[in-house]
Chain A
Amino acid sequence: GAGVSQSPRYKVAKRGQDVALRCDPISGHVSLFWYQQALGQGPEFLTYFQNEAQLDKSGLPSDRFFAERPEGSVSTLKIQRTQQEDSAVYLCASSPNRAGGNQPQHFGDGTRLSIL
């Protein structure tokens, strides 16, 4: 079956613009994660959904970042009034069940966001 799908693959925006990044998890996966990966760094956690509930948003760097998963499947990460430090690869991952236990996460290809 299809893996985690993210769109767009690349996004270039001018500073101050709003952007929206989409994630289609593996069908039926309950858990969905967003990570931010800056150049030369490992991925860093942003937020977590269990179905439609956002249970953890402790990694969101500011209130300009907003994520939703209204029907418990597709998720959107929105960044308002983008700044240059938002430039990074944004990764989405999903796993089959509720968080807890030793479950691997399946990653998408990511969206590479460049803010000019």
Chain B
Amino acid sequence: AQRVTQPEKLLSVFKGAPVELKCNYSYSGSPELFWYVQYSRQRLQLLLRHISRESIKGFTADLNKGETSFHLKKPFAQEEDSAMYYCARAYGGATNKLIFGTGTLLAVQP
């Protein structure tokens, strides 16, 4: 079965420190990978997707097929980055349903 693993339930850093949220996926062909974010009292929203290779709010994520990883990084954390982050891959086929990891809560301390 296809799986997405986020090993850390909680990541606490100080403002200005670098951030890396880990995500690994089970290997299967060419994955379509996403990071979704949920800020307090807001809905789940797309942060970035690997195919667009863009940087959103200072975050980047590089697909490493050799390590089957798609870690989310930001060089300098801001307090407003505090949120729940979910890594997801599209299952593909007829539905393109998403398979999510269990999420990592990022807490940025002042």
Q: Which residues of A line the B interface, CB within 8 A?
A: 3-4, 31, 33, 35, 40-45, 48, 55-56, 59, 91, 95, 99-110
Residues of B within 8 A of A101 (CB): 96
**Once A and B bind, how many residue pairs between them come within 8 Å at the CB atom?**
65
Residues of A within 8 A of B102 (CB): 40-42
Min Cβ gap B40→A in Å is 13
Q: Could you write out 11 A-B pairs with CB less than 8 Å apart?
A: A35-B98, A42-B86, A42-B100, A48-B95, A55-B95, A99-B95, A99-B96, A102-B51, A105-B98, A107-B45, A110-B43
Min Cβ gap A59→B in Å is 8
Q: Is the CB of A108 within 8 A of B96?
A: no
Residues of A within 8 A of B43 (CB): 3-4, 107-110
Residues of A within 8 A of B17 (CB): none
| A interface secondary structure, majority | loop
Q: Is the CB of A43 within 8 A of B95?
A: no
Residues B15-52 near A (CB distance < 8 A): 32, 34, 36, 43-46, 49, 51-52
The list of the 4 closest CB pairs from A to B, nearest first, reads A42-B100, A99-B96, A107-B44, A48-B95
Q: Is the CB of B44 within 8 A of A91?
A: yes
Min Cβ gap A51→B in Å is 13
Number of B interface residues at 8 Å Cβ cutoff, please give it.
28
Are A43 and B98 CB-contacts (below 8 A) given A102-B51, A104-B49? Answer: yes
Residues of B within 8 A of A40 (CB): 9, 102
Report which of A3, A100, A109 forms a contact with B96, defined as CB distance below 8 A: A100
Report which of A41, A99, A104 forms a contact with B94, defined as CB distance below 8 A: A99
Q: Does B83 contact A (CB under 8 A)?
A: no
A100 to B52 alpha-carbon distance, docked (Å): 16
Q: Is the CB of A48 within 8 A of B44?
A: no
